[in-house]
Amino acid sequence: MKELSQAILNSKKSKIRKLFDMLLKSGSDAISFGIGQPDFTSPDYMNDAIIKALREHKTQYAPARGIPQLREIIAYKFKNENNMSWVKPENTIVTNGGSQALQLAYAVLTNPGDEMILSSPAFLSYYHLADYYGIKCVEVPAKNNYSPDIEGIKNAITPKTKFILINSPSNPTGYAFSKEEMDAIVALVLEHDLYLVSDEVYEKFYFDGMTHISPASYEGMKDRTITLNALSKTFGATGLRLGYIAASEEIIINMEKYIQYTTAGVNHPVQYGAIEGLKHVDRMNIPEIIEEYDRKRQFCVRRLKEMKFIVDMPKGAFYIMPKLNPEWGMDGDEFSNALVQEQKVACVPGSGFGSYSNDSLRISYATSDEKLEEGFNRIEKFLRNRNFL
Ligand SMILES: Cc1ncc(COP(=O)(O)O)c(C=O)c1O
């Protein structure tokens, strides 16, 4: 038999999936801190709109860019919530989740042999997409508190660099860019004639009064930035698979072509739910959710510090990425494997997020207080059994 695609063959199975496989085998009292989704589900006011669309038989192909009413709301959202005053419906496109939005960015921006730059650790799809599109992903290790190393990013730019990819607040670290860091990234993009892909799926989840900054709101960035977002995290709707993009019209026209010949559009009835969701985002009561996540974040930091992990307070999203104490002599893969086998607690090893983070674990704390408490008690037991505490 002839060989299958090298790019796909060489792409490793996600460590998160592997972890879930192990956890499923370990029985019903297993606790997962591995899951990258909120602990709430899509609101009924959104679900009802999808059901209504179904009842009205909106089950034929939708336009490849998405239905016009939704694209109007998306443009309004970017203008009003993200200070992107230039966005018109022509600058938007609807996608199959944030994941397809990312894929479209790679597909439209790059040629094989191009380079992209990101601050590592980062969301794992960024690496795999680079392989699939034949481009080199240049990882610049983040600083100790997971802030981006701006000087390192600057030094990584070559004539082949096509874009920088940012994700603030970040999965997996929970770090969020300061205004100064965003200014610096934007300046690099402008100075070196690059594109910027800004993954803003966690834009609603900031702590300590920090607010979201969209780089496409900066002067000179409108034609250089692909801003992507999704219903997934804001609305607890990871299974609805609905994302969206703002970019220059030229980029959108080319994304539309790609959609036409690959997925032929996005689930039609769900787009009606998206209209209601985005129109009435205030009904999600985000401040209350943030208060809840803030409490869980504080709990995680306190317990992790007591257990001698090395950890900084996350600034956003619902992840924390503690570093293992070097005195324990274990890396993230060993720790995560042993923890799931001995204590049935799943934390994703840092190696799942890049080449420089196998000294850490990613914990998603979007789970119940009881599970957090029990999971951390088991981690403590795991450490005590080894005389690490
Ligand atoms: C940073 C980041 N970007 C994009 C996505 C993909 O989002 P979606 O589930 O909408 O495809 C995720 C999902 O976990 C994510 O964490």
In tens, the pLDDT along 351-373 reads: 999 999 999 999 999 999 999 99
Pocket test for ligand 1, best of 128, 168, 201, 364 (most atoms within 8 A of CB): 201
One domain for residues 32 and 99: no
Name the band, by pLDDT with cuts 50, 70 and 90, for residue 74: very high
Residue 48 lies in a domain: no
Using CB distances shorter than 6 Å, the residues near ligand 1 are: 36, 97-99, 123, 167, 171, 199, 201, 230, 232, 238, 243
One domain for residues 74 and 217: yes
Residue 1 lies in a domain: no
Number of compact structural domains in the chain: 2
pLDDT tens readout for residues 195-216:
999 999 999 999 999 999 999 9
Residue 309 lies in a domain: yes
Residue 205 lies in a domain: yes
Model pLDDT, residue 178? 98
**Average confidence score pLDDT of the chain:** 96
Q: Which residue has the tokens 């692909």?
A: 226
One domain for residues 121 and 12: no
pLDDT tens readout for residues 218-274:
999 999 999 999 999 999 999 999 999 999 999 999 999 999 999 999 999 999 999
Report which ligand 1 atom has the smallest distance to the Cα of 100: 11
Residue 49 lies in a domain: no
Of 283, 298, 331, the last residue of a domain is 283
Q: Is 225 helix (H, G, I), strand (E, B) or coil?
A: strand
Residue 101 lies in a domain: yes
Per-residue DSSP letters for 338-370?
HHHHHH-EE-EEGGGG-TT-TTBEEEE--S-HH
- Nearest alpha-carbon partner for 316 in 210, 162, 196, 389: 210
Residue 51 lies in a domain: no
How far is it, in rounded angstroms, from Cα 39 to Cα 7? 34
Domain of 201, CATH number, reads 3.40.640.10
Residue nearest to atom 16 of ligand 1 (CA): 171
Pocket test for ligand 1, best of 232, 270, 364 (most atoms within 8 A of CB): 232
How far is it, in rounded angstroms, from Cα 98 to Cα 10? 24
- Nearest alpha-carbon partner for 316 in 295, 293, 286, 299: 293
pLDDT tens readout for residues 316-325:
999 999 999 9
Domain of 332, CATH number, reads 3.90.1150.10
Of 262, 283, 304, the last residue of a domain is 283
- Nearest alpha-carbon partner for 22 in 336, 363, 381, 361: 336
Name the band, by pLDDT with cuts 50, 70 and 90, for residue 13: low
One domain for residues 363 and 294: yes
Q: By residue range, what is the domain housing residue 331?
A: 6-41+285-385
Residue 50 lies in a domain: no
Q: Is 282 helix (H, G, I), strand (E, B) or coil?
A: helix
One domain for residues 181 and 240: yes
- Nearest alpha-carbon partner for 244 in 274, 214, 280: 274
Give kind and range of the element (H or E) at residue 160. Answer: none
